[in-house]
Amino acid sequence: MKPFSLDFTIDLRRLRVLRELQARGTVAATAEALHLTPSAVSQQITNLSRETGIPLLTPQGRGVRLTPQAGLLLDHAALVDAQMERARADLAAFHEGLVGRVAIGGFATVIIHLIAPALIKLRKTHPRLDVSVLEVEAPECFTRLNAGDLDLILTVDYPGGPRRQDPRYGRRDLLHDPFLVALPSRHPLAQRKTLRLKELADHPWIMGGSTGPCRETALAACTSAGFSPEIRHRTGSWPSTFALVAAGCGVSLVPQLALPSELPRGVVLRSLAGSQRPSRHIYAATRAGADGFPTLVPVLEAITRTAREWSDRPK
């Protein structure tokens, strides 16, 4: 076979025999070093010559000498050997969860409060993990997880979402995220410490975009409280929601994880009392059986630890 053929292949074990022959000088010494018979050594060299399409040996006294082409081949073989050693090291590191690629998907507030802090931890403990993050919400995050575009997603339970025992996914519960009521500071109910959701039935509402788990959870909570909210404004981000509340445009249900470090002027938050108090349950999902994958284990542990720290922080 010619070296420039597209079918050009080399058995790396035969290169090892050729390298030993270069070092030992005779077929007999090579056979002894490799615990082979001399005929087996000769056969390996013959097959390698056939594979590469080049002459490998010339007689020299009682021994043999490698051809210039064989020397060139072994120069390249040294590079292949070095790369294979790197591959072995990387595979061992991969098995230990130290190296590899992980793609994470999550909505904006979990990226801010859970994923980003977890990546700070991972950068110290697993610096060779290559982690990418995509901001994505349900149900699209499940579509991307199923397709293999993402390895891990952080999402929430919501009406119409996968059930807890869905056999397609591995699940790790992270935290409960209760909703609070955001009110204009001059609202008649703003002086109260706690409210019942039904008390807001006759007020204009500010809701997230036309779809999404938060909006569905808020609507389901209002329905359970016995009313259908008058949605006057729709927003695509929590800062815009707070801006409209501060402007006196309506009330809104806001998950605790979405609260800014400092509330805008003109906005107050109140807890909800009674059985209609809504919350979202945040969890991590992988494809079924993948949660024990070596590269996913440290990522899941870092995110779980971050979620625990967030839950335990002083309120």
State the pairing for strand pair 100-106/152-156. Answer: parallel
Q: Where are the domains of the chain?
A: 12-94, 100-175+282-312, 176-279
How far is residue 21's CA from residue 27's CA, in Å, rounded to a whole number? 7
Overall average pLDDT of the 264-289 stretch: 89
- What integer best gives the mean pLDDT of the chain? 88
How far is residue 170's CA from residue 186's CA, in Å, rounded to a whole number? 46
How far is residue 308's CA from residue 118's CA, in Å, rounded to a whole number? 11
User: What DSSP string runs through 115-135?
Assistant: IHHHHHHHHHH-TTEEEEEEE
Domain 176-279 has CATH 3.40.190.10: yes
Q: Please give the class, per CATH, of domain 12-94.
A: mainly alpha
How far is residue 74's CA from residue 19's CA, in Å, rounded to a whole number? 7
Question: If DSSP codes are grouped into helix, strand and coil, which group holds residue 205?
Answer: strand
Q: Do the domains spanning 12-94 and 100-175+282-312 agree at the CATH topology level?
A: no
How far is residue 26's CA from residue 40's CA, in Å, rounded to a whole number? 13
100-175+282-312 CATH: 3.40.190.10
Q: What is the pLDDT of residue 194?
A: 92
Structure tokens, 66: 């490698």
Overall average pLDDT of the 56-75 stretch: 85
Overall average pLDDT of the 127-134 stretch: 93
pLDDT tens for each residue of 138-154 = 989 999 999 899 999 99
How far is residue 199's CA from residue 109's CA, in Å, rounded to a whole number? 28
Longest distance between any two alpha carbons in the chain, whole Å? 107
- pLDDT band, residue 58 (cuts 50/70/90): confident
pTM above 0.85, yes or no: no
| C-alpha 5: how far from chain center | 40
Q: What is the pLDDT of residue 53?
A: 86
Overall average pLDDT of the 25-33 stretch: 86
Overall average pLDDT of the 148-161 stretch: 91
Structure tokens, 263: 């509330």
Amino acid at 117: P
Instruction: Inform me whether the pLDDT recorded for 202 exceeds 90.
Output: yes
